Amino acid sequence: MINTVLFDFDGTLVNTNDVIVASWQHTYMHYLGREESLEKITACFGEPLLLTMEREFPGVDPEESAEVYRSYQREYADELVKIFPGIKELLGELKKAGYRMGIVTSRTRESAQRYMDMFGIGPYFEAMVTCEDTNIHKPNPEPILLCLDKMGITADEAIMVGDSPFDIKCANNACVKSVLVDWRITGCGESPIADAVEDYTIAEPAELMEVLKKVNG
């Protein structure tokens, strides 16, 4: 029986799409003197930042390029980041129904916590696994498995909700059921992960409650 819901962060709970795209364009301009297509940027949503930096800017210390990206994001976060409509209501319904909740994200803990505090959603979550908690990232199952371990539950007790192929493949590899959200921006470009297969797709947050009823019979 599913008693725990694990959420990705960016593009799932919080709409960071605009600030992420703008931060990437700023970084491309800084190092290459040009912007890149939206398709190229969104195809890598969900990939750990340092891995993308290594690929996009060879010869540049990925920590350096990541700081160029993050500094821009910090400056414009308050202006560009929004919580998705219906998310706070969903979290309240899940808590009321007795579900436990965790976050599995490739974002840093400091930045994720900042947005959680901004929108008042932190108290809903028992555990959070970030890019700093493991050296092995999505789509490897390690982030989900680590969150399961932190919460003291098994794979068959959890379901993963995310917006990218990295989230879904991570769940596939961890033997956890998965839900793909359809309010995502990802999918505009060609995904580097072609064999991620979600169990369910939802068009709005409230539909997750129906999925859980179906899964739990």
| Cα angle 143, 203, 110; round to 5 | 35
Q: What are the tens digits of pLDDT across the range 14-50?
A: 998 899 999 999 999 999 999 999 989 988 887 889 9
Q: What is the pLDDT of residue 185?
A: 66
Residues 46, 164: contact at Cβ < 8 Å? yes
Q: Is 195 a catalytic residue?
A: no
Q: Which positions ≥6 away from 2 have C-beta within 8 Å?
A: 99, 157, 158, 159, 177, 212, 215, 216
Mean pLDDT confidence for 64-71: 96
Residues 115, 147: contact at Cβ < 8 Å? no
Residues 142, 149: contact at Cβ < 8 Å? no
Mean pLDDT confidence for 92-102: 98
Q: Tell me whether domains 4-15+82-215 and 17-80 share a fold.
A: no
Single out the catalytic residue among 8, 10, 163, 167. 8
Q: What is the pLDDT of residue 46?
A: 76
Return the structure tokens found at 192.
């580097």
- If DSSP states are collapsed to H, E and C, what string results for 2-32? CCEEEECCECCCEECHHHHHHHHHHHHHHHH
Q: Which positions ≥6 away from 77 have C-beta within 8 Å?
A: 19, 114, 115
Is it the case that residue 190 has pLDDT exceeding 80? no
**Token pair 């917006």 in the structure block, residue:** 163
Amino acid at 116: M
Domain ranges of the chain: 4-15+82-215, 17-80
**Given its phi and psi angles, is residue 98 left (phi above 0), alpha (psi -120 to 50 degrees) or beta?**
left
In angstroms, how far is the first alpha carbon of the chain from the final one? Answer: 9
- Does 4-15+82-215 carry CATH code 2.40.160.40? no
Q: What is the pLDDT of residue 77?
A: 86
Distance CA 87, CA 108 (A): 21
| Cα angle 105, 185, 191; round to 5 | 75
- Mean pLDDT over each residue of the chain, to the nearest integer: 93
- Does 17-80 carry CATH code 1.10.150? yes
pLDDT band at 177 (very low <50, low <70, confident <90, very high): very high
Residues 125, 101: contact at Cβ < 8 Å? yes
> What pTM value is reported for the model?
0.87
Q: Which positions ≥6 away from 28 have C-beta within 8 Å?
A: 34, 35, 36, 56
Q: What is the pLDDT of residue 188?
A: 41
Residues 44, 192: contact at Cβ < 8 Å? yes
Q: What are the tens digits of pLDDT across the range 124-172?
A: 999 999 999 999 999 999 999 999 999 999 999 999 999 988 999 999 9
Mean pLDDT confidence for 172-177: 98
Secondary structure (3-state) at 158: strand
